[in-house]
């Protein structure tokens, strides 16, 4: 009964989406060939073989068709897919139908146009992926920790679903899916769906995602995975080498869920599990519904990097429940999520830690703003058909977050919390554009509290480059203390670091004067073992400084770091720094060529642009 009611609720949400679609949210997505106003695909059935020998997914994608007019063609997005044939379900049988693949567009891939006639209710595409699919990474057994079994995973956001599923690849669409997966016995395949905790490894898996999600949230991974529960509704999937450490590291996840529900309403996705990816995973985390994908580089052994878990969990409200309608609206996902992340951290660990994390984000934002063209510091960014991956920065994250902090400060926490909670309810299971958000904000917050914030101010935040003059400038008392200590230390004094966490160390290293003497570099390293730090974030900050300072003793560690970690946020600032001098560039290219086979396609693309700029 409860299930049926919930289904009706989702069905209604899906209908609502269709009606918003006719208002044109989808039409603003320049990154998809889909025409949601003509035909939409609210349900997908996947039947895929995970073929490790050929590094391919092979099988079928079957869609339910909903026509919104008299269109007789379906337009899908693809990238590097081999299409074998397309079929229609007519008169209770499959019939082959004509299709056409368009020219390859560097960013968008290829449009797949399928003739669907006027009555078919389903379409089926037989296809195979390329071994170089931009949204998949295939690791050989030697590239895994266990060394015995291969591993594969997807990273679909923003527009890589199309490299492993022919799909209407726009976040304006919402669809449910079921999947049948075939892989080697002994391996476990998981998805952003109702994964089982059973320890059976038959190689055949049936999965289902009953809530409508956007295409970029469809995810898959397969490998030698074990599973261990943290609580009744939270478990960790990981290779055995790290599973106990990850369960310990993330023990606070159930409390995070409770805290978020108290602020923003129920967690609507049933289970919340975490999957540890290999070190080549290109992001820190990815909020695949019910199963966040997480880099092993945040399993630091001291629980200091769990804001990343708070972040991916927060997407269960901001992003997965209320979703950006196009990649120009990414701040609606990431700005809200960074805000919610920080609120979760504050609720669990107090204001001091939350402030430090906000201040670190602010510093990162200022750094990015220096580097970026002014027009790329706009929240509602103009992308044209540029690849969203090419303009990825802290702007949608931290500028978006500061915008919400600003609103919270202006309207007061109580009012702003109530507004946000209602927002998540009102837009649940819908995709919204920046324009829709502005209208909603005007009606439900600005108009209800006259003369607190003007629409001009909102427009400045959303459409102008840089930060408004009255934007919050997050500071942290803890960091002020670190800076004081640093001044004393630079004059030969001792540091009191006993109670420093990763945050203080990051601030300390990032604030060191660039004219720091080599004697002081050695002194720091000797006393605090920074070159040898196993904390991936601290090591990153130190190695970056070591490049600027030509600090030779860190070179071997730098090489090792670049060869073993593929998380782009940790890797690319190092290559960017190395690319500044010709000797370092030569060295970096050598290391890169050695590291390349282990890097994810995204990490390869981004860093080749840094190291071989003339090849573009
Ligand atoms: N959804 C993002 C990752 C993403 C964004 C991939 C846009 C592709 C396009 C994920 O939630 C994320 O933001 N990860 C961050 C977490 C950090 C801000 C705590 C990361 O990977 O560093
Ligand atoms: Zn995010």
**What local confidence, expressed as pLDDT, does residue 26 receive?**
47
**pLDDT, tens digit, 9 for 90 and up, residues 549-599:** 999 999 999 999 999 999 999 999 999 999 999 999 999 999 999 999 999
Instruction: Looking at the CA of residue 308, tell me the nearest atom of ligand 1.
Output: 19
What is the DSSP secondary structure assignment for residue 142, as one 8-state letter? G
Tokens of 27: 């039409």
CA of residue 282 to ligand 1 center, whole Å:
10
Question: What CA–CA distance (Å, rounded) separates 65 from 117?
Answer: 11
CA of residue 364 to ligand 1 center, whole Å:
14
Cross-strand partners of 93 = 90
- What's CA 605's distance to the chain center, in Å? 17
Give the number of the ligand closest to the Cα of residue 307.
Answer: 1
**pLDDT, tens digit, 9 for 90 and up, residues 22-77:** 334 445 799 999 999 999 999 999 999 999 999 999 999 999 999 999 999 999 99
Residue 296 has pLDDT above 60, yes or no: yes
Q: Best mutation site among 218, 283, 344 for ligand 1, i.e. most ligand atoms within 8 A of its Cβ? A: 283
**pLDDT, tens digit, 9 for 90 and up, residues 477-513:** 999 999 999 999 999 999 999 999 999 999 999 999 9
Whether residue 157 has its Cβ less than 6 Å from ligand 1: yes
**pLDDT, tens digit, 9 for 90 and up, residues 423-471:** 999 999 999 999 999 999 999 999 999 999 999 999 999 999 999 999 9
Q: Whose CA is nearest to atom 15 of ligand 1?
A: 284
What is the DSSP secondary structure assignment for residue 60, as one 8-state letter? E
**What local confidence, expressed as pLDDT, does residue 428 receive?**
98
**What local confidence, expressed as pLDDT, does residue 616 receive?**
67
**What local confidence, expressed as pLDDT, does residue 28 receive?**
79
Question: What CA–CA distance (Å, rounded) separates 531 from 128?
Answer: 45
Whether residue 288 has its Cβ less than 6 Å from ligand 1: no
Place of tokens 């917050």: 445
Whether residue 334 has its Cβ less than 6 Å from ligand 1: yes
Residue 264 among the catalytic residues = no
Question: Is this model's pTM higher than 0.85 or not?
Answer: yes
- Exposure string over 355-379, b if 16+ CB within 10 A, otherwise e: bbbbbbbbbbbeebbeebeeebbbb
Dihedral sign from CA coordinates of 220, 361, 230, 259:
negative
Considering 239, 312, 504, 577, which one is annotated as catalytic? 312
**pLDDT, tens digit, 9 for 90 and up, residues 150-162:** 999 999 999 999 9
Whether residue 308 has its Cβ less than 6 Å from ligand 1: yes
CA of residue 286 to ligand 2 center, whole Å:
7
**What local confidence, expressed as pLDDT, does residue 615 receive?**
83
Dihedral sign from CA coordinates of 608, 284, 501, 246:
negative
**pLDDT, tens digit, 9 for 90 and up, residues 175-214:** 999 999 999 999 999 999 999 999 999 999 999 999 999 9
CA of residue 447 to ligand 1 center, whole Å:
33
Exposed / middle / buried, residue 556 (Cβ in 10 Å: 0-12, 13-18, 19+): exposed
**What local confidence, expressed as pLDDT, does residue 333 receive?**
98
Q: Whose CA is nearest to atom 1 of ligand 1?
A: 286
**What local confidence, expressed as pLDDT, does residue 164 receive?**
99
Question: What CA–CA distance (Å, rounded) separates 294 from 272?
Answer: 13
Residue range 253-265: mean pLDDT, rounded: 98
**pLDDT, tens digit, 9 for 90 and up, residues 224-241:** 999 999 999 999 999 999
**What local confidence, expressed as pLDDT, does residue 256 receive?**
99
Give the number of the ligand closest to the Cα of residue 391.
Answer: 1
**What local confidence, expressed as pLDDT, does residue 1 receive?**
31
- Cα 291 to Cα 192, 234, 275, 391, 568: the distances in Å are 5, 9, 6, 26, 21
Q: Which residues contact 293 (CB under 8 A, 6 or more apart)?
A: 153, 155, 219, 221, 275, 277, 281, 283, 285, 286
Share of the chain above pLDDT 90, in %: 95
**What local confidence, expressed as pLDDT, does residue 27 receive?**
57
CA of residue 308 to ligand 2 center, whole Å:
9
Instruction: Say if CB 348 and CB 259 are below 8 A apart.
Output: yes
Instruction: Looking at the CA of residue 389, tell me the nearest atom of ligand 1.
Output: 9
CA of residue 178 to ligand 1 center, whole Å:
25
CA of residue 292 to ligand 2 center, whole Å:
11
**What local confidence, expressed as pLDDT, does residue 7 receive?**
40
Considering 205, 272, 339, 397, which one is annotated as catalytic? 397
Instruction: Say if CB 222 and CB 186 are below 8 A apart.
Output: no
Residue 205 among the catalytic residues = no
**What local confidence, expressed as pLDDT, does residue 145 receive?**
86
Question: What CA–CA distance (Å, rounded) separates 285 from 7?
Answer: 29
**pLDDT, tens digit, 9 for 90 and up, residues 78-93:** 999 999 999 999 999 9
Give the mean pLDDT of the chain: 95
Q: Whose CA is nearest to atom 2 of ligand 1?
A: 286
Instruction: Say if CB 284 and CB 297 are below 8 A apart.
Output: yes
Q: Best mutation site among 286, 287, 342 for ligand 1, i.e. most ligand atoms within 8 A of its Cβ? A: 286
Whether residue 569 has its Cβ less than 6 Å from ligand 1: yes
Q: Whose CA is nearest to atom 17 of ligand 1?
A: 308
**pLDDT, tens digit, 9 for 90 and up, residues 105-129:** 999 999 999 999 999 999 999 999 9
């Amino acid at each position: 009964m409860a299930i049926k009611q919930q289904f009706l609720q989702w069905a209604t949400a899906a209908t609502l989406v269709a009606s918003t679609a006719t208002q044109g949210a989808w039409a603003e997505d320049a990154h998809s060939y889909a025409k949601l106003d003509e035909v939409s695909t609210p349900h997908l059935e996947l039947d895929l073989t995970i073929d490790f020998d050929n590094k391919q997914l092979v099988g079928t994608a079957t869609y339910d068709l909903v026509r919104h007019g008299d269109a007789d063609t379906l337009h899908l997005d693809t990238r590097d897919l081999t299409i074998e044939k397309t079929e229609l379900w007519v008169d209770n049988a499959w019939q082959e139908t004509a299709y056409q693949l368009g020219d390859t567009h560097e960013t968008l891939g290829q449009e797949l146009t399928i003739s669907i006639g006027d009555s078919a209710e389903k379409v089926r595409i037989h296809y195979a992926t390329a071994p170089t699919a931009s949204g998949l990474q295939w690791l050989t057994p030697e590239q895994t920790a266990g060394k015995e079994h291969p591993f594969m995973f997807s990273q679909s956001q923003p527009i890589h679903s199309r490299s492993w599923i022919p799909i209407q690849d726009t976040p304006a669409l919402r669809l449910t899916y079921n999947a049948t997966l075939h892989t080697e016995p002994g391996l476990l395949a998981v998805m952003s769906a109702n994964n089982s905790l059973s320890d059976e490894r038959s190689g055949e898996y049936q999965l289902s995602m009953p809530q409508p999600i956007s295409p970029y949230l469809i995810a898959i991974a397969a490998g030698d995975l074990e599973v261990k529960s943290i609580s009744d509704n939270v478990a960790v999937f990981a290779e055995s080498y790290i599973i106990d450490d990850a369960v310990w590291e993330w023990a606070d996840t159930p409390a995070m869920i409770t805290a978020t529900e108290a602020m923003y309403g129920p967690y609507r996705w049933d289970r919340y599990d975490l999957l540890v990816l290999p070190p080549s995973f290109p992001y820190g985390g990815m909020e695949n519904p019910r199963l966040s994908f997480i880099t092993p580089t945040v399993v630091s052994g001291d629980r200091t990097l769990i804001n990343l878990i708070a972040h991916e969990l927060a997407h269960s409200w901001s992003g997965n429940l209320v979703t950006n309608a196009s990649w120009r609206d990414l701040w609606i996902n990431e700005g809200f999520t960074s805000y919610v992340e920080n609120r979760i951290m504050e609720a669990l660990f107090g204001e001091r830690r939350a402030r430090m994390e906000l201040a670190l984000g602010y510093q990162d934002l200022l750094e990015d703003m220096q580097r970026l063209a002014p027009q790329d510091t706009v929240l509602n960014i103009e992308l044209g058909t540029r690849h969203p991956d090419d303009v990825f920065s802290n702007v949608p994250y931290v500028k978006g977050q500061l915008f919400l902090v600003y609103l919270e400060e202006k309207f007061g926490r109580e009012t702003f919390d109530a507004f946000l909670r209602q927002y998540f309810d009102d837009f649940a299971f819908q995709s919204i554009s920046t324009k829709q958000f502005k209208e909603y904000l005007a009606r439900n917050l600005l108009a209800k509290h006259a003369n607190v914030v003007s629409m001009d101010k909102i427009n400045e935040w959303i459409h102008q480059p840089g930060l408004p003059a009255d934007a919050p400038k997050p500071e942290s008392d803890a960091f002020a203390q670190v800076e004081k200590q640093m001044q004393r230390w630079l004059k030969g004094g001792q540091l009191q670091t006993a109670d420093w966490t990763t945050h203080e160390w990051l601030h300390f290293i990032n604030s060191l004067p660039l004219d720091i003497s080599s004697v002081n570099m050695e002194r720091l390293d000797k006393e605090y073992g920074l070159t040898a730090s196993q904390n991936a974030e601290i090591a990153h900050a130190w190695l970056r400084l070591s490049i600027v300072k030509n600090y030779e003793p860190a070179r071997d560690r730098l090489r090792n770091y670049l060869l073993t970690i593929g998380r782009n946020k940790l890797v690319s600032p190092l290559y960017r720094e190395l690319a500044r001098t010709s000797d370092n560039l030569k060295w970096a290219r050598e290391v890169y060529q050695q590291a390349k086979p282990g890097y994810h396609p995204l990490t390869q693309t981004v860093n080749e642009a840094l190291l071989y700029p003339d090849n573009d």
